[in-house]
Each structure stands twice: as structure tokens, then as C-alpha cells.
Amino acid sequence: MSIVKFSNVEKSFGPHKIFNGINLEIMPREVVVVIGPSGSGKSTLLRCINALESIEGGDIRVDGFSVKGGRNDIRNIRLEAGMVFQQFNLFPQMTALENVMFGPMRVRKATRREARELALALLEKVGLSERANHYPAELSGGQQQRVAIARALAIRPKLMLFDEPTSALDPELRQEVLKVMQTLAEEGMTMVIVTHEIEFARKAGTRLLFMEGGKIVHDGKPNELLLSPPSERLRDFLQHVV
């Protein structure tokens, strides 16, 4: 029933062991917010889910497909897990519309017309109908990130992964991105979100993970962990991010 399942996952970079047996199960419709100090393994955790990083031990299954299952499984995992990065990563030579049309045409074998219809609907969903024909350089950071979200949604993922989606944005542009994410959460999208936006974690998250040193140190309800942090480390961390 789980959509993501880590079983005893081990991950190293060269001689450095990052994960020494991570276990984690995420159910459909969960909105999992991941917090923790820099270098604690948050990005690596996300990148392992869609096989952007390989693992040496254990297994990760996404909707039943294994990151160790070979090309076909990995292809399926990437179709099921949309990813949004801190640095938007839009194709600069393509308009907003073309960026969003790219995935469906390339990997879902949609016709140009189908892809265009879907892309227009998704740009409307993220509030950017008016900007469909603009190039990334003509858009604000918040607008670019909303295009990136629409682009990830266009492959019709079952799961969305966000790695610090608002960290590169000026504070006044963050809310427009968080609002789109909040709407997705309300619609029941399963999401794993690395962020320092504690208020968002409280409002939109159904589950909060606190990572440190490659371990999931706390795993619980956002309200409970944030209102009464069970460790000195979490209390200390929260004082520094808010």
C-alpha cells in the first residue's frame, strides 16, 4: 500500500557513509516535510527516491518499482515521481508553455495538441496563463518555480518531490510558490518536501521528519514536533531557522 518504501538503505559517497540503514514508509496522500541541518542528507534522501543517486545496500521501492530493478523500473519510477529543485532548472530556450509540454510529448507520447491542452491547464493551475509564451529569463523566480511545478505535474506523477523549492527566492516571492504547493497538498497529492518553511510544514504537512547526520531522528506530526520538540537538537535547530 505504501508509495515509497526505504528498506535498510545504505548510501555512501566515496569513503563517506551517508545512510547506514534508513527505513521509511510513505503512504499515498501523505505530505512529508523534511527538515534538518545542512549536510544531514535531506537532498540525498530525495534523490535516492527517483534514482538520481544509486544506493549500495537495501532497497527503495516506489509504487512497487525498485530503484535496483534496472532500466525499466527506473523509467517507471521517474514517471511516477516529479521533482522540483531549488534552482528551477527550466529549459532557457523554451517558453513556459514549451517547458511544460516537453515531458508529456517526450515521455508520455502525447500528441502536440494533447500536450498543449494539458500544459495550458497546468499553467492556469499555477496562476500563469498570462505568461505561457514568456521565456524563463522574462519571468520572476517565483514564476519560474511555478512553471517548474507545472512541468513536473505534466508527466502526471503520483508523487512530487521538492528540494528546497523556495530557498532561491526572495521572501516576497515565496508565498506564491508555497500556495501552489498547499493546493496540491489539499488535492491529495503525495509529496515529500525538503524546506525550511516551518509555517508551511505546520499548515500543509501531515508528517514531519527531522534529519541529522544521515539519520531520521524524529518522525511525527508537525504540530506535535514543532510545538514540543522532543530533543534539544530539534529545539536548537528550530530556533535557528525561524
Please give the residue ranges that form the binding site for Mg ion (CB under 5 A). 42-43
Q: Does 39 bind ligand ADP (CB under 6 A)?
A: yes
> Which listed range, 39-47, 63-71, 134-142, 220-228, lies at the site for ligand ADP (CB under 6 A)?
39-47
DSSP 8-state secondary structure symbol assigned to residue 56: S
Distance in angstroms (rounded) separating the CA atoms of residues 19 and 17: 6
Closer residue to ligand ADP (CB): 23 or 111: 23
Which residue lies nearer to Mg ion by CB, 44 or 143?
Answer: 44
Only segment of 34-42, 105-113, 153-161, 219-227 that touches ligand ADP (CB under 6 A): 34-42
Q: Which is nearer to ligand ADP, 38 or 72 (CB)?
A: 38
- CA–CA dist 82, 102 (Å, integer): 14
Contact between 43 and ligand ADP (CB under 6 A)? Answer: yes
**Judged by CB under 6 A, does residue 166 bind ligand ADP?**
no
Q: Is 141 in the site for ligand ADP (CB under 6 A)?
A: no
- Give the nearer residue to ligand ADP in terms of CB position, either 40 or 143: 40
Q: What torsion do the CA atoms of 169, 173, 178, 179 make, to the nearest 10 degrees?
A: -160
Min CB(211)–ligand ADP separation in Å: 6
Nearer to ligand ADP by C-beta: 120 or 238? 238
- Whole-number minimum distance, CB 236 to ligand ADP, in Å? 16
13 belongs to the binding site for ligand ADP (CB under 6 A): yes
Nearest-CA neighbor of 209 among 51, 41, 49, 78? 41
Chosen from Mg ion, ligand ADP, none, partner binding at 13 (C-beta under 5 to 8 Å by type): ligand ADP
Residue 41 as a binder of ligand ADP (CB under 6 A): the answer is yes
CA dist., res. 6 & res. 211, Å (int): 15
Q: What secondary structure does DSSP assign to 92-160, as a single string?
A: TTS-HHHHHHHHHHHHS---HHHHHHHHHHHHHHTT-GGGTT--GGGS-HHHHHHHHHHHHHTT--SEE
3-state helix, strand, coil in the chain (%, to 5): 40, 25, 35
CB of 39 to Mg ion, least distance (A): 8
Q: Would you say 123 and 129 are in contact if contact means Cβ atoms under 8 Å apart?
A: yes
Closest residue to Mg ion, judged by C-beta, is 43
The span from the CA of 13 to the CA of 35, in Å, is 21
Cell numbers placing 67: 530503484
3 state SS of 61: strand
| Under rule CB under 6 A, residue 165 binds ligand ADP | no
